[in-house]
Amino acid sequence: MSIKLTQHEKNQTYFCTFTCVDWLPLFELTDFYDEIYKWFGILKTSGSSVVGFVIMPNHLHALIYVKAQSINKVLGNGKRFMAYEIVERLKAAGRADILKYFPRG
């Protein structure tokens, strides 16, 4: 079950988990690992950093240190842009069977 709390503290490390829709192995199906590493790089340039992580085929666990932004904003932006890229990769692969899980897929 997801718990949504607004976190206002900065200069903190957070344990974060996010999952793919219906636990589908979307990271694996779209060979998405490069985009996750790219997001980690974006975090670094914004003053945040990834302390540790585990990437599974359908979910991600990460210890993320945030310096200037709220963790809610960091995760929200990351998940949104990654979702767009997953949809694009599914379209390119002709995976209409999976795109049905996305409202605008």
Q: What is the pLDDT of residue 1?
A: 46
Give yes or no for residue 53 having a pLDDT over 70. yes
Q: What is the pLDDT of residue 3?
A: 61
88: how many CB neighbours lie within 10 A of its CB?
11
Determine the residue type at 96.
Answer: A
Nearest Cα neighbor of 101 from 22, 36, 9, 40 is 22
CA pair distance 104, 57, nearest whole angstrom:
22
- Model confidence, pTM: 0.86
Average pLDDT over residues 29-43: 96
Q: Report the CATH number of the 12-99 domain.
A: 3.30.70.1290
Annotated domain spans of the chain: 12-99
